[in-house]
Protein backbone atom coordinates (compact mmCIF):
# COMPACT_ATOMS: atom_id res chain seq x y z
CA UNK A 1 0.00 0.00 0.00
CA UNK A 2 1.37 3.37 -1.00
CA UNK A 3 0.94 5.77 1.93
CA UNK A 4 0.49 8.90 -0.18
CA UNK A 5 -1.34 9.87 -3.37
CA UNK A 6 0.09 10.24 -6.80
CA UNK A 7 -1.41 10.67 -10.24
CA UNK A 8 -0.79 8.02 -12.88
CA UNK A 9 -0.12 8.94 -16.51
CA UNK A 10 0.33 6.61 -19.44
CA UNK A 11 1.70 8.54 -22.43
CA UNK A 12 1.56 6.94 -25.88
CA UNK A 13 4.64 8.60 -27.36
CA UNK A 14 8.10 9.88 -26.43
CA UNK A 15 7.04 13.48 -27.09
CA UNK A 16 3.97 13.11 -24.88
CA UNK A 17 6.09 11.64 -22.07
CA UNK A 18 8.70 14.40 -22.09
CA UNK A 19 6.03 17.12 -22.34
CA UNK A 20 4.14 15.56 -19.42
CA UNK A 21 7.31 15.44 -17.36
CA UNK A 22 8.00 19.12 -18.02
CA UNK A 23 4.42 20.16 -17.19
CA UNK A 24 4.30 18.09 -14.00
CA UNK A 25 7.73 19.37 -12.97
CA UNK A 26 6.52 22.96 -13.43
CA UNK A 27 3.54 22.13 -11.20
CA UNK A 28 5.88 20.91 -8.47
CA UNK A 29 4.76 17.27 -8.75
CA UNK A 30 8.31 15.84 -8.82
CA UNK A 31 7.29 13.24 -11.42
CA UNK A 32 8.99 9.88 -11.80
CA UNK A 33 9.22 7.77 -14.91
CA UNK A 34 7.66 4.41 -14.15
CA UNK A 35 8.67 1.09 -15.71
CA UNK A 36 7.60 -2.08 -13.89
CA UNK A 37 6.93 0.00 -10.79
CA UNK A 38 8.24 -2.62 -8.37
CA UNK A 39 10.88 -0.38 -6.82
CA UNK A 40 8.73 2.75 -6.79
CA UNK A 41 5.88 0.90 -5.04
CA UNK A 42 8.01 -0.97 -2.50
CA UNK A 43 10.17 2.05 -1.64
CA UNK A 44 7.09 4.30 -1.45
CA UNK A 45 5.63 1.99 1.17
CA UNK A 46 8.76 2.64 3.24
CA UNK A 47 8.63 6.38 2.53
CA UNK A 48 11.94 6.17 0.71
CA UNK A 49 10.39 7.48 -2.51
CA UNK A 50 7.90 10.30 -2.72
CA UNK A 51 6.25 11.74 -5.80
CA UNK A 52 2.94 13.32 -6.81
CA UNK A 53 2.96 11.81 -10.31
CA UNK A 54 4.25 8.75 -12.13
CA UNK A 55 4.64 8.47 -15.90
CA UNK A 56 4.28 4.88 -17.09
CA UNK A 57 6.60 4.10 -20.03
CA UNK A 58 4.97 0.84 -21.08
CA UNK A 59 2.62 2.29 -23.72
CA UNK A 60 5.42 4.06 -25.63
CA UNK A 61 6.04 1.84 -28.67
CA UNK A 62 9.78 2.62 -28.95
CA UNK A 63 10.30 1.55 -25.32
CA UNK A 64 8.72 -1.82 -26.06
CA UNK A 65 10.76 -2.76 -29.15
CA UNK A 66 12.55 -6.10 -29.11
CA UNK A 67 14.27 -6.46 -32.46
CA UNK A 68 16.38 -9.62 -32.45
CA UNK A 69 16.79 -9.68 -36.23
CA UNK A 70 18.30 -6.21 -36.55
CA UNK A 71 21.97 -5.28 -36.39
CA UNK A 72 22.48 -3.82 -33.88
CA UNK A 73 19.98 -5.68 -31.72
CA UNK A 74 17.44 -3.32 -30.16
CA UNK A 75 16.03 -3.70 -26.66
CA UNK A 76 13.33 -1.31 -25.46
CA UNK A 77 13.79 -0.07 -21.91
CA UNK A 78 10.23 -1.06 -20.95
CA UNK A 79 10.66 -4.74 -21.84
CA UNK A 80 10.27 -6.98 -18.84
CA UNK A 81 13.24 -9.12 -17.88
CA UNK A 82 11.29 -12.31 -18.62
CA UNK A 83 10.43 -11.03 -22.10
CA UNK A 84 14.15 -10.61 -22.73
CA UNK A 85 14.93 -14.02 -21.27
CA UNK A 86 12.35 -15.78 -23.40
CA UNK A 87 13.46 -14.10 -26.64
CA UNK A 88 17.15 -14.59 -25.67
CA UNK A 89 18.75 -12.43 -28.38
CA UNK A 90 21.78 -11.69 -26.17
CA UNK A 91 22.61 -14.78 -24.06
CA UNK A 92 24.82 -12.91 -21.57
CA UNK A 93 21.98 -10.45 -20.90
CA UNK A 94 19.59 -13.38 -20.47
CA UNK A 95 21.90 -14.90 -17.86
CA UNK A 96 22.21 -11.62 -15.97
CA UNK A 97 18.45 -10.97 -16.11
CA UNK A 98 17.61 -14.47 -14.93
CA UNK A 99 19.46 -13.91 -11.66
CA UNK A 100 17.56 -10.73 -10.74
CA UNK A 101 14.88 -11.11 -8.04
CA UNK A 102 12.56 -14.04 -8.83
CA UNK A 103 10.66 -15.05 -11.94
CA UNK A 104 7.30 -13.55 -10.97
CA UNK A 105 8.95 -10.26 -10.05
CA UNK A 106 10.83 -10.32 -13.36
CA UNK A 107 7.49 -10.42 -15.20
CA UNK A 108 7.24 -6.81 -14.02
CA UNK A 109 10.80 -5.54 -13.61
CA UNK A 110 11.91 -3.78 -16.78
CA UNK A 111 15.39 -3.53 -18.26
CA UNK A 112 15.36 0.25 -17.93
CA UNK A 113 14.03 0.07 -14.38
CA UNK A 114 16.69 -2.39 -13.28
CA UNK A 115 19.41 -0.11 -14.61
CA UNK A 116 17.97 3.22 -13.45
CA UNK A 117 16.63 2.12 -10.05
CA UNK A 118 17.88 3.23 -6.65
CA UNK A 119 18.80 -0.29 -5.60
CA UNK A 120 22.41 -0.19 -6.60
CA UNK A 121 23.17 -3.69 -7.87
CA UNK A 122 21.73 -2.92 -11.34
CA UNK A 123 22.97 -6.26 -12.59
CA UNK A 124 21.62 -6.06 -16.14
CA UNK A 125 24.07 -3.20 -16.70
CA UNK A 126 26.98 -5.66 -16.67
CA UNK A 127 26.32 -7.27 -20.09
CA UNK A 128 25.75 -3.80 -21.55
CA UNK A 129 29.14 -2.64 -20.20
CA UNK A 130 31.08 -5.51 -21.72
CA UNK A 131 29.16 -5.46 -25.00
CA UNK A 132 29.82 -1.71 -25.24
CA UNK A 133 26.16 -1.07 -25.91
CA UNK A 134 24.69 2.16 -27.13
CA UNK A 135 21.82 3.81 -25.34
CA UNK A 136 19.04 5.95 -26.77
CA UNK A 137 17.97 8.68 -24.38
CA UNK A 138 14.94 10.95 -24.73
CA UNK A 139 14.46 14.21 -22.89
CA UNK A 140 13.33 17.79 -23.12
CA UNK A 141 15.91 18.49 -25.84
CA UNK A 142 14.97 15.56 -28.05
CA UNK A 143 16.41 12.10 -28.57
CA UNK A 144 20.14 11.30 -28.47
CA UNK A 145 22.29 8.21 -28.83
CA UNK A 146 25.43 7.68 -26.80
CA UNK A 147 27.74 4.98 -25.52
CA UNK A 148 26.37 3.25 -22.44
CA UNK A 149 29.85 3.22 -20.88
CA UNK A 150 30.18 7.00 -21.36
CA UNK A 151 26.84 7.65 -19.69
CA UNK A 152 27.21 5.27 -16.75
CA UNK A 153 29.42 6.40 -13.90
CA UNK A 154 28.26 4.51 -10.82
CA UNK A 155 24.76 5.20 -12.18
CA UNK A 156 23.31 6.47 -15.41
CA UNK A 157 24.00 10.18 -15.69
CA UNK A 158 20.64 11.29 -17.04
CA UNK A 159 19.52 14.89 -17.06
CA UNK A 160 16.29 15.98 -15.37
CA UNK A 161 13.37 14.78 -17.47
CA UNK A 162 15.45 12.32 -19.50
CA UNK A 163 14.64 8.63 -19.79
CA UNK A 164 16.08 5.60 -21.58
CA UNK A 165 14.22 4.55 -24.69
CA UNK A 166 16.36 1.68 -25.94
CA UNK A 167 19.66 -0.14 -25.78
CA UNK A 168 21.50 -1.27 -28.89
CA UNK A 169 24.00 -4.12 -28.95
CA UNK A 170 26.20 -5.13 -31.84
CA UNK A 171 24.86 -8.41 -33.16
CA UNK A 172 28.23 -10.19 -33.47
CA UNK A 173 29.28 -9.09 -29.97
CA UNK A 174 26.08 -10.55 -28.52
CA UNK A 175 27.14 -14.08 -29.49
CA UNK A 176 30.79 -13.94 -28.37
CA UNK A 177 32.12 -16.36 -25.73
CA UNK A 178 31.08 -15.12 -22.33
CA UNK A 179 30.91 -15.94 -18.65
CA UNK A 180 28.35 -15.01 -16.03
CA UNK A 181 28.13 -16.00 -12.40
CA UNK A 182 26.32 -14.67 -9.38
CA UNK A 183 27.29 -15.68 -5.87
CA UNK A 184 24.91 -14.97 -2.99
CA UNK A 185 25.32 -15.34 0.73
CA UNK A 186 22.70 -18.09 0.57
CA UNK A 187 19.82 -19.38 -1.52
CA UNK A 188 18.89 -18.92 -5.16
CA UNK A 189 17.09 -15.57 -4.92
CA UNK A 190 18.44 -12.31 -3.63
CA UNK A 191 21.15 -9.71 -3.83
CA UNK A 192 24.69 -10.68 -4.78
CA UNK A 193 27.87 -11.05 -2.82
CA UNK A 194 29.51 -10.74 -6.21
CA UNK A 195 28.15 -10.91 -9.74
CA UNK A 196 30.56 -11.04 -12.63
CA UNK A 197 29.90 -10.81 -16.38
CA UNK A 198 32.74 -11.28 -18.84
CA UNK A 199 33.09 -11.47 -22.58
CA UNK A 200 36.06 -12.22 -24.81
CA UNK A 201 36.48 -10.13 -27.91
CA UNK A 202 39.54 -10.11 -30.20
CA UNK A 203 41.48 -12.12 -27.62
CA UNK A 204 40.85 -9.63 -24.81
CA UNK A 205 38.66 -10.21 -21.79
CA UNK A 206 36.17 -7.53 -20.79
CA UNK A 207 34.71 -7.85 -17.33
CA UNK A 208 32.15 -6.04 -15.20
CA UNK A 209 31.08 -6.49 -11.58
CA UNK A 210 28.15 -5.89 -9.28
CA UNK A 211 27.97 -6.49 -5.54
CA UNK A 212 31.63 -5.60 -4.97
CA UNK A 213 31.14 -1.85 -4.61
CA UNK A 214 27.95 0.15 -3.99
CA UNK A 215 27.73 0.51 -7.78
CA UNK A 216 28.33 -1.78 -10.75
CA UNK A 217 31.54 -1.12 -12.66
CA UNK A 218 33.80 -1.97 -15.55
CA UNK A 219 37.39 -0.76 -15.16
CA UNK A 220 40.09 -0.33 -17.83
CA UNK A 221 42.79 -0.79 -15.19
CA UNK A 222 41.27 -4.05 -13.94
CA UNK A 223 41.05 -5.37 -17.51
CA UNK A 224 44.64 -4.30 -18.32
CA UNK A 225 45.90 -6.46 -15.43
CA UNK A 226 43.66 -9.38 -16.40
CA UNK A 227 44.83 -9.31 -20.00
CA UNK A 228 48.54 -8.97 -19.20
CA UNK A 229 49.62 -12.35 -20.52
CA UNK A 230 53.26 -11.76 -19.59
CA UNK A 231 52.29 -12.77 -16.04
CA UNK A 232 50.75 -15.96 -14.62
CA UNK A 233 46.98 -15.92 -14.13
CA UNK A 234 47.19 -15.84 -10.33
CA UNK A 235 49.22 -12.62 -10.43
CA UNK A 236 46.94 -11.09 -13.04
CA UNK A 237 43.93 -11.78 -10.84
CA UNK A 238 45.64 -10.44 -7.74
CA UNK A 239 46.57 -7.22 -9.53
CA UNK A 240 43.08 -6.92 -11.00
CA UNK A 241 41.40 -7.25 -7.61
CA UNK A 242 43.85 -4.74 -6.09
CA UNK A 243 42.77 -2.27 -8.78
CA UNK A 244 39.04 -2.49 -7.95
CA UNK A 245 37.45 0.89 -7.26
CA UNK A 246 36.60 1.69 -3.66
CA UNK A 247 34.76 1.40 -1.33
CA UNK A 248 34.29 -2.36 -1.20
CA UNK A 249 30.91 -3.29 0.28
CA UNK A 250 31.13 -4.48 3.87
CA UNK A 251 27.70 -5.40 5.18
CA UNK A 252 25.44 -8.20 6.38
CA UNK A 253 25.68 -9.98 3.01
CA UNK A 254 29.45 -10.28 3.35
CA UNK A 255 32.57 -8.55 4.59
CA UNK A 256 34.80 -6.59 2.22
CA UNK A 257 37.57 -9.20 2.52
CA UNK A 258 35.17 -12.03 1.74
CA UNK A 259 33.73 -10.24 -1.28
CA UNK A 260 37.25 -9.73 -2.68
CA UNK A 261 38.04 -13.40 -2.04
CA UNK A 262 34.87 -14.45 -3.91
CA UNK A 263 35.59 -11.99 -6.73
CA UNK A 264 39.10 -13.45 -7.18
CA UNK A 265 37.70 -16.99 -7.30
CA UNK A 266 35.11 -15.96 -9.88
CA UNK A 267 37.81 -14.30 -11.98
CA UNK A 268 39.72 -17.58 -11.88
CA UNK A 269 36.60 -19.39 -13.17
CA UNK A 270 36.08 -16.73 -15.83
CA UNK A 271 39.65 -16.98 -17.14
CA UNK A 272 39.42 -20.77 -17.24
CA UNK A 273 36.08 -20.82 -19.05
CA UNK A 274 37.21 -18.19 -21.51
CA UNK A 275 40.19 -20.28 -22.57
CA UNK A 276 43.03 -18.79 -20.56
CA UNK A 277 44.10 -22.17 -19.11
CA UNK A 278 47.51 -22.02 -20.70
CA UNK A 279 48.47 -19.14 -18.48
CA UNK A 280 47.09 -20.61 -15.26
CA UNK B 1 -4.16 18.31 -16.28
CA UNK B 2 -5.79 15.66 -14.09
CA UNK B 3 -5.73 16.13 -10.35
CA UNK B 4 -4.70 13.46 -7.89
CA UNK B 5 -8.06 12.06 -6.91
CA UNK B 6 -9.83 8.77 -6.67
CA UNK B 7 -11.01 7.42 -9.96
CA UNK B 8 -13.51 4.83 -11.07
CA UNK B 9 -11.69 1.87 -12.58
CA UNK B 10 -13.46 -0.80 -14.59
CA UNK B 11 -11.47 -4.00 -14.21
CA UNK B 12 -11.96 -7.33 -15.91
CA UNK B 13 -11.67 -9.89 -13.13
CA UNK B 14 -12.38 -13.60 -13.42
CA UNK B 15 -14.38 -12.98 -16.58
CA UNK B 16 -16.55 -10.23 -15.08
CA UNK B 17 -16.39 -6.46 -15.44
CA UNK B 18 -16.10 -4.91 -11.99
CA UNK B 19 -16.22 -1.20 -11.26
CA UNK B 20 -14.35 0.13 -8.26
CA UNK B 21 -13.38 3.57 -7.01
CA UNK B 22 -9.72 3.64 -6.02
CA UNK B 23 -6.77 5.95 -5.55
CA UNK B 24 -4.48 6.03 -8.56
CA UNK B 25 -1.63 5.09 -6.21
CA UNK B 26 -3.44 2.01 -4.91
CA UNK B 27 -1.99 -1.43 -5.46
CA UNK B 28 -3.95 -4.15 -7.19
CA UNK B 29 -3.80 -6.30 -4.05
CA UNK B 30 -5.49 -3.65 -1.92
CA UNK B 31 -8.18 -2.94 -4.52
CA UNK B 32 -8.96 -6.65 -4.96
CA UNK B 33 -9.28 -7.25 -1.25
CA UNK B 34 -10.72 -4.03 0.17
CA UNK B 35 -12.48 -2.65 -2.88
CA UNK B 36 -13.89 -5.81 -4.40
CA UNK B 37 -14.00 -8.32 -1.56
CA UNK B 38 -11.72 -10.77 -3.35
CA UNK B 39 -9.65 -11.81 -0.37
CA UNK B 40 -8.04 -14.87 -1.91
CA UNK B 41 -4.84 -13.02 -2.78
CA UNK B 42 -3.05 -12.63 0.54
CA UNK B 43 -1.01 -9.72 1.90
CA UNK B 44 2.26 -11.19 3.13
CA UNK B 45 5.46 -9.20 2.97
CA UNK B 46 3.99 -6.40 0.79
CA UNK B 47 7.50 -6.17 -0.60
CA UNK B 48 7.41 -8.55 -3.56
CA UNK B 49 9.31 -11.28 -1.74
CA UNK B 50 6.79 -13.87 -0.56
CA UNK B 51 4.40 -14.34 -3.51
CA UNK B 52 1.28 -14.80 -1.34
CA UNK B 53 -0.47 -12.06 -3.35
CA UNK B 54 0.21 -13.62 -6.78
CA UNK B 55 -2.57 -13.21 -9.36
CA UNK B 56 -2.56 -13.57 -13.13
CA UNK B 57 -2.65 -10.55 -15.42
CA UNK B 58 -3.26 -11.64 -19.00
CA UNK B 59 -2.21 -15.11 -17.88
CA UNK B 60 1.13 -13.95 -16.43
CA UNK B 61 1.83 -14.31 -12.70
CA UNK B 62 2.18 -10.93 -11.03
CA UNK B 63 2.77 -9.97 -7.42
CA UNK B 64 -0.30 -7.82 -6.86
CA UNK B 65 1.33 -5.93 -3.98
CA UNK B 66 3.74 -4.42 -6.51
CA UNK B 67 1.35 -3.47 -9.31
CA UNK B 68 -1.01 -0.52 -9.38
CA UNK B 69 -4.65 -1.41 -9.94
CA UNK B 70 -4.89 1.34 -12.57
CA UNK B 71 -2.22 -0.44 -14.65
CA UNK B 72 -4.52 -3.40 -15.12
CA UNK B 73 -7.35 -1.52 -16.83
CA UNK B 74 -7.99 -3.28 -20.14
CA UNK B 75 -6.29 -6.48 -19.01
CA UNK B 76 -7.68 -9.81 -17.85
CA UNK B 77 -7.11 -10.44 -14.15
CA UNK B 78 -7.50 -13.92 -12.70
CA UNK B 79 -7.49 -14.45 -8.95
CA UNK B 80 -7.76 -17.70 -6.99
CA UNK B 81 -11.54 -17.10 -6.88
CA UNK B 82 -11.55 -17.36 -10.68
CA UNK B 83 -10.08 -20.86 -10.79
CA UNK B 84 -12.85 -23.38 -11.07
CA UNK B 85 -11.74 -26.89 -10.25
CA UNK B 86 -8.35 -26.39 -11.86
CA UNK B 87 -6.28 -29.59 -11.78
CA UNK B 88 -3.63 -27.92 -9.62
CA UNK B 89 -6.24 -27.23 -6.92
CA UNK B 90 -7.15 -30.91 -6.74
CA UNK B 91 -3.48 -31.90 -6.76
CA UNK B 92 -2.83 -29.60 -3.78
CA UNK B 93 -5.67 -31.22 -1.85
CA UNK B 94 -4.65 -34.75 -2.80
CA UNK B 95 -1.06 -34.23 -1.69
CA UNK B 96 -1.91 -32.02 1.28
CA UNK B 97 0.45 -29.43 -0.15
CA UNK B 98 -0.12 -26.90 2.62
CA UNK B 99 -0.29 -26.61 6.36
CA UNK B 100 -1.58 -23.19 7.41
CA UNK B 101 -2.72 -22.42 3.84
CA UNK B 102 -1.75 -18.74 3.80
CA UNK B 103 0.67 -19.04 0.88
CA UNK B 104 -1.54 -21.50 -1.01
CA UNK B 105 -3.47 -19.10 -3.31
CA UNK B 106 -0.21 -17.53 -4.46
CA UNK B 107 1.46 -20.88 -5.07
CA UNK B 108 -1.58 -22.17 -6.93
CA UNK B 109 -1.85 -19.14 -9.21
CA UNK B 110 1.85 -19.32 -10.08
CA UNK B 111 1.73 -23.09 -10.61
CA UNK B 112 -1.45 -22.80 -12.68
CA UNK B 113 0.25 -20.31 -15.02
CA UNK B 114 3.32 -22.55 -15.25
CA UNK B 115 1.18 -25.54 -16.23
CA UNK B 116 -0.75 -23.54 -18.82
CA UNK B 117 2.37 -21.94 -20.32
CA UNK B 118 4.87 -24.77 -20.01
CA UNK B 119 3.16 -28.16 -19.80
CA UNK B 120 6.57 -29.62 -20.68
CA UNK B 121 8.36 -27.82 -17.80
CA UNK B 122 11.48 -29.58 -16.56
CA UNK B 123 12.92 -29.54 -13.02
CA UNK B 124 14.86 -26.33 -13.67
CA UNK B 125 11.82 -24.48 -15.00
CA UNK B 126 9.63 -25.68 -12.12
CA UNK B 127 12.20 -24.49 -9.60
CA UNK B 128 12.74 -21.18 -11.39
CA UNK B 129 9.01 -20.41 -11.36
CA UNK B 130 8.20 -21.64 -7.88
CA UNK B 131 11.10 -20.02 -6.07
CA UNK B 132 9.05 -16.80 -6.43
CA UNK B 133 6.82 -18.07 -3.59
CA UNK B 134 7.64 -18.74 0.03
CA UNK B 135 5.93 -21.25 2.34
CA UNK B 136 6.74 -20.58 5.99
CA UNK B 137 5.41 -24.05 6.90
CA UNK B 138 7.97 -25.48 4.45
CA UNK B 139 5.52 -27.69 2.56
CA UNK B 140 7.81 -27.51 -0.44
CA UNK B 141 8.12 -31.23 -1.04
CA UNK B 142 4.34 -31.72 -1.17
CA UNK B 143 3.93 -28.64 -3.34
CA UNK B 144 6.50 -29.98 -5.78
CA UNK B 145 4.73 -33.33 -5.91
CA UNK B 146 1.37 -31.64 -6.57
CA UNK B 147 2.80 -29.46 -9.33
CA UNK B 148 4.48 -32.41 -11.02
CA UNK B 149 1.27 -34.43 -10.91
CA UNK B 150 -0.75 -31.59 -12.45
CA UNK B 151 1.94 -31.10 -15.09
CA UNK B 152 1.86 -34.78 -15.98
CA UNK B 153 -1.94 -34.65 -16.31
CA UNK B 154 -1.70 -31.57 -18.51
CA UNK B 155 0.87 -33.29 -20.72
CA UNK B 156 -1.47 -36.21 -21.32
CA UNK B 157 -4.35 -33.82 -22.01
CA UNK B 158 -2.19 -31.82 -24.43
CA UNK B 159 -1.14 -34.94 -26.35
CA UNK B 160 -4.70 -35.99 -26.98
Q: How far is CA B147 from the centre of its chain?
A: 15
Give the pLDDT of residue B159.
67
Q: How many domains does chain A have?
A: 3
In a domain, A138, yes or no: yes
* Same domain, residue pair B106 and B121: yes
Span A263-275, pLDDT tens digits = 999 999 999 999 8
When pLDDT is cut at 50, 70 and 90, the band that residue A189 belongs to is confident
- Beta-carbon separation of B131 and A103 below 8 A: yes
- Does residue A279 surpass a pLDDT of 90? no
In a domain, A280, yes or no: no
Q: Do B46 and B92 sit in the same domain of this protein?
A: no
Q: Is residue A121 part of a domain?
A: yes
Residues A46 and A67 in one domain: no
Both B10 and B29 in one domain: the answer is yes
What pLDDT does residue A277 have?
67
Residues B47 and B94 in one domain: no
Please say which residue of B48, B82, B116 terminates a domain.
B82
Say if the Cβ atoms of A38 and B48 lie within 8 Å: yes
Exposed/middle/buried for residue B8 (C-beta within 10 Å: 0-12, 13-18, 19+) = exposed
CA distance B13 to chain A (A): 19
- Determine whether the interchain pair B4/A2 forms a contact, defined as Cβ–Cβ distance below 8 Å: no
pLDDT for residue A134 is more than 80: yes
CATH number at residue A230: 3.30.390.50
Average pLDDT on A158-177 reads 97
Do A151 and A201 belong together in one domain? no
| Residue pLDDT, tens place only, A25-70 | 999 999 999 999 999 999 999 999 999 999 999 999 999 999 999 9
* Residue B70 burial (CB count, 10 A): 22
Q: Specify if B143 maps to a domain.
A: yes
Residues A72 and A106 in one domain: yes
Query: Per the structure, how many domains does chain B have?
Result: 2
In a domain, A1, yes or no: no
Residue B145 sits at φ, ψ, to 5 deg, of -60, -45
pLDDT for B156 equals 83
Q: What pLDDT was estimated at residue A280?
A: 61
Closest to A159 in 3D by CA, of A175, A143, A170:
A143
Query: Are residues A198 and A269 both part of a single domain?
Result: yes
Range of the domain at A233: 178-274
Do both A47 and A125 map to the same domain?
no
Which of A55, A98, A103, A184 would best serve as a mutation to test chain B binding (most B beta carbons within 10 A)? A103
Taking only the tens place, the pLDDT of each residue in A98-130 is: 999 999 999 999 999 999 999 999 999 999 999
Shared domain check, B108 and B73? no
Contact B66 A37 (CB under 8 A): yes
Whether residue B62 sits in one domain with residue B14: yes
Whether residue B1 lies inside any domain: the answer is no
Do B74 and B107 reside in the same domain of the chain? no
**CB-CB contact of A91 with A178 (8 Å):** yes
SS3 assignment, position A132:
coil
Residue at which a domain ends, from B82, B112, B133: B82
Q: What is the ipTM of this complex?
A: 0.95
Q: Which residues of chain A make contact with B63, given a CB cutoff of 8 A?
A: 38, 104-105, 108
Whether residues A73 and A129 share a domain: the answer is: yes
Q: Is residue B19 part of a domain?
A: yes
Same domain, B91 and B146: yes
Same domain membership, residue A152 and residue A82? yes
Residue A188, pLDDT score: 84
How many CA within 13 A on the CB side of residue A121? 21
Residue from the list A24, A58, A103 with its beta carbon closest to the beta carbon of B129:
A103
Q: How many CB pairs under 8 A join A and B?
A: 87
Instruction: Collect all residues with Cβ–Cβ distance below 8 Å to A84 and sequence separation of at least 6.
Output: A66, A75, A90, A93, A94, A97, A111
Question: Are A183 and A146 in a shared domain?
Answer: no
Q: Do B26 and B48 belong to one domain?
A: yes
Query: Which domain, by its residues, includes B44?
Result: 6-82
From first to last of its 160 residues, chain B has per-residue pLDDT tens of 555 579 999 999 999 999 999 999 999 999 999 999 999 999 999 999 999 999 999 999 999 999 999 999 999 999 999 998 999 999 999 999 999 999 999 999 999 999 999 999 999 999 999 999 999 998 899 999 999 999 999 888 876 5
Same domain, B94 and B67: no
Alpha-carbon radius of gyration of chain A: 19
- Last residue in a domain, options A143, A173, A203: A173
* A117 within some domain: yes
The pLDDT assigned to A187 comes to 84
Query: Which tens digit of pLDDT belongs to each residue from A240-250?
Result: 999 999 999 99
Domain CATH code at residue B31: 3.10.20.30
Amino acid sequence: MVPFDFAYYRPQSIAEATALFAALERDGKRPLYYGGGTEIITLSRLNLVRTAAVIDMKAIPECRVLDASADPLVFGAALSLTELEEANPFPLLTKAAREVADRTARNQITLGGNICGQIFYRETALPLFVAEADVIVAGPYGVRQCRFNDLFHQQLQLGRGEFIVQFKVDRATATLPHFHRKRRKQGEVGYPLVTIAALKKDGAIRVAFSGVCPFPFRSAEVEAHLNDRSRPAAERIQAAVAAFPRPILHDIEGSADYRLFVAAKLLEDALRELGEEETM
Amino acid sequence: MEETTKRELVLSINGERRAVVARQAETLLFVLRDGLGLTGAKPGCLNGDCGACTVLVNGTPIKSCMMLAIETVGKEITTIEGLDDAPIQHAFVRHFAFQCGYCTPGFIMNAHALIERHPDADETTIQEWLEANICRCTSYQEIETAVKEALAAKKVETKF
